[in-house]
A and B are shown apart, each in its own frame.
Chain A
Amino acid sequence: DIQMTQSPSSLPASLGERVTISCRASQGISNNLNWYQQKPDGTIKPLIYYTSNLQSGVPSRFSGSGSGTDYSLTISSLEPEDFAMYYCQQDASFPTFGAGTKLELK
């Protein structure tokens, strides 16, 4: 199985701040990396697929990048609705998720 190491596990930040969440795979995943947002009520929303492609309706302040084993999600200017959990997921093989990053208001 491909292991996904996500960091940080917790990220205090302020409104308007730029933040980056990282995800490292235990082996190369050829850009097969997706990002999801989970709100406190459990609702899960796909954000980015195949490293850098925004899902329809996702604001342009979200972006993704990376290659090989290292990937990242960046939010350019935090809005109130962005404070949530974020998960990376690889689908180069049987899907596995990172442990999550809790983006919280500083």
Chain B
Amino acid sequence: EVQLVESGGGLVQPGSPLKLSCAASGFTFSSNWLNWIRQAPGKGLEWVASINPDGSSTYYPDTVKGRFVVSKDNAKNTGYLQMNNLRSEDTAMYYCARAYDGTPSWFAYWGQGTLVTVSS
């Protein structure tokens, strides 16, 4: 059974960094794209990062480009989202999602999310 478990969320001050983790099991982690999607309180879903199976290519929307860095450790079956210079508008539930085999962004499996709150 595919499982994705996010961790690392919490309350941080504006301008602070925070690193999220996504522990994966039940599939060959090195074979699939990994994505991060967030949802601000009461709002819709927003894609924030993608990384290809071997970790050599990453993609971001303009809203986080230059501040967020996605990575994956295929030996540890874990993905990461390093978030720097956090802003209040980054407050959201952050989900990691595994793409379907051979696709970058059909999000076939989702974790339960980890909550990030940016506030002074």
- Give 9 nearest A-B pairs by CB, closest first: A91-B105, A95-B105, A97-B45, A95-B47, A44-B110, A100-B44, A99-B44, A49-B106, A34-B106
- List B residues at the A interface (Cβ < 8 Å): 35, 39, 44-47, 50, 59, 61, 93, 95, 97, 100, 103-110, 112-113
- List A residues at the B interface (Cβ < 8 Å): 1, 34, 36, 42-46, 49-50, 55, 87, 89, 91, 94-100
**Residue ID in chain B nearest A97 by CB atoms:** B45
Q: How far is the CB of A75 from chain B (nearest CB, A)?
A: 20
CB-CB < 8 A to B39: which residues of A?
Answer: 42
**Residue ID in chain A nearest B103 by CB atoms:** A91
* A–B complex contacts, Cβ < 8 Å, 24 sampled: A1-B61, A36-B107, A42-B112, A43-B112, A44-B97, A44-B107, A44-B110, A45-B110, A46-B106, A46-B109, A46-B110, A49-B108, A55-B108, A89-B105, A91-B103, A91-B104, A91-B106, A94-B47, A95-B35, A95-B105, A97-B45, A99-B44, A100-B44, A100-B45
